[in-house]
Amino acid sequence: MEQKLFKNYLGEKRLKLTKERLAVLQEVFAFHGHFAPEQLYFRMRDSGSKASRASVYRTLTLLVECGLVQRIARSDRGNVYEHIYGHGHHDHLICSLCGEIIEFYSENLEKIQEEVCRRNKFRGVSHILEIRGICGRCKG
Amino acid sequence: MEQKLFKNYLGEKRLKLTKERLAVLQEVFAFHGHFAPEQLYFRMRDSGSKASRASVYRTLTLLVECGLVQRIARSDRGNVYEHIYGHGHHDHLICSLCGEIIEFYSENLEKIQEEVCRRNKFRGVSHILEIRGICGRCKG
DNA sequence: GGTTAATTGATATTTAATCTCAATTTCATT
DNA sequence: AATGAAATTGAGATTAAATATCAATTAACC
Ligand SMILES: [Mn+2]
Ligand SMILES: [Mn+2]
Ligand SMILES: [Zn+2]
Ligand SMILES: [Zn+2]
């Protein structure tokens, strides 16, 4: 299903569905969790599918553009992504001590953001909400 | 006033109030707007106050820790900061076309975030909410 | 003033991400 | 299936933000 969507997106933009792009897509959807581009690149090397580092980065950008993947944070060490198709949008609580990432979704929060956009004559397209603090386990 | 707060913070932590740290603090509060560490560093060079690149980065971290400054985003090219003391917390709408940054504050949004933290047994310390989209002028 | 631990800064290092460009591949068209 | 134009790939170079090193300096406390 995500392949079909990706193919459509590429078609519209007169871009080509190469085996490298397909390999990145498959690896991204085979893995469930948050990942950095470098991790994705090395996981692909290990699992035998081939795509250069450059292609991994380039394809990730395309996947974000067409809405199959979202960039959820820009950590101190590079960007963090996750596939989103089939999961729906959500935001994150990030523990500064242990690094745990808790996902949440609040309808209310989304509604109020839309309201904020309206008030500012702004067409919201995406957002990153990243709440940093200390998780239950680390609080003790 | 911000000097007093910074001094207190340093005192509590047994850290020293050096002239470099003071120079960074002053430059940060002399400038009203969003800035990258490198910009701050070069602005200081130009205006004659001296602090090495390392000290600028190190001091920024301290200023964030004590709440005088917030990191508001990680752009494609590094972090973006702004001084916050005397302005209060706010979040940002960022236009993907022209780069304009609109500030906003929503009491409701903050309340709901607290609620989300409570539900997840999480102690929220800070957050970054960055809504990307298209501003009124660019919509046409 | 003397002691001590913190700090500075020039420089090297790390590392994510992008760029380069010749060689290759896709894909629409014969 | 062959052709050709345009897009894509990838190895390696490059960029640039941020951090680490560590000898020399400095602030803070007595
Ligand atoms: Mn997630
Ligand atoms: Mn602001
Ligand atoms: Zn934790
Ligand atoms: Zn705009």
Interatomic distance A132 CA / D29 C1' (Å)? 37
CATH for B89-140 (3.30.1490.190, 1.10.1660.10, 3.40.50.150, 3.40.640.10) = 3.30.1490.190
Return the pLDDT at B98: 79
C1' of nucleotide C24: residue with nearest CA: A18
Q: Does CATH number 1.10.10.10 belong to domain A1-87?
A: yes
Q: Which nucleotide is nearest to B20 (CA to C1')?
A: C8
β-pairing, A123-134 with A91-95?
parallel
Q: Tell me the C-alpha to C-alpha distance, in Å, between residue A87 and each of A70, A115, B69, B113, B118.
A: 11, 24, 35, 21, 24
Q: Does B121 touch chain A (CB under 8 A)?
A: yes
The number of C-beta contacts closer than 8 angstroms across A and B is 113
β-pairing, A91-95 with A101-104?
antiparallel
Interval A57-113: pLDDT, tens: 999 999 999 999 998 877 777 899 999 988 888 999 988 778 788 999 999 999 999
pTM confidence score:
0.83
The tens-digit pLDDT sequence of chain B (140 residues) is: 899 999 999 999 999 999 999 999 999 999 999 999 999 999 999 999 989 999 999 999 999 999 999 988 777 778 999 999 888 889 999 887 777 889 999 999 999 999 999 999 999 988 889 898 889 998 87
Interatomic distance A12 CA / C24 C1' (Å)? 23
User: Is the Cβ–Cβ distance between A87 and B84 less than 8 Å?
Assistant: no
In single-letter form, the type of residue at position A67 comes to G
β partners of residue B94: B101, B132
Q: Which nucleotide is nearest to B80 (CA to C1')?
A: D17
Q: Which of residues 63-102 of B touch A (CB under 8 A)?
A: 73-74, 93, 95-96, 102
On chain A, the residues whose CB falls within 8 A of the CB of B132 are 124-128
Interval A24-55: pLDDT, tens: 999 999 999 999 999 999 999 999 998 999 99
Q: Does A123 touch chain B (CB under 8 A)?
A: yes
Q: Does A140 touch chain B (CB under 8 A)?
A: no
Q: Does A130 touch chain B (CB under 8 A)?
A: yes
Q: Is A105 helix (H, G, I), strand (E, B) or coil?
A: coil
The answer to whether the CB atoms of A104 and B96 lie below 8 A apart is no
Please give the share of chain A, as a percent, with pLDDT higher than 70: 100
Residues of chain A with CATH 1.10.10.10: 1-87
Interatomic distance A140 CA / D7 C1' (Å)? 55
Distance CA A20, CA A74 (A): 25
Ligand (nearest to CA of B125): 3
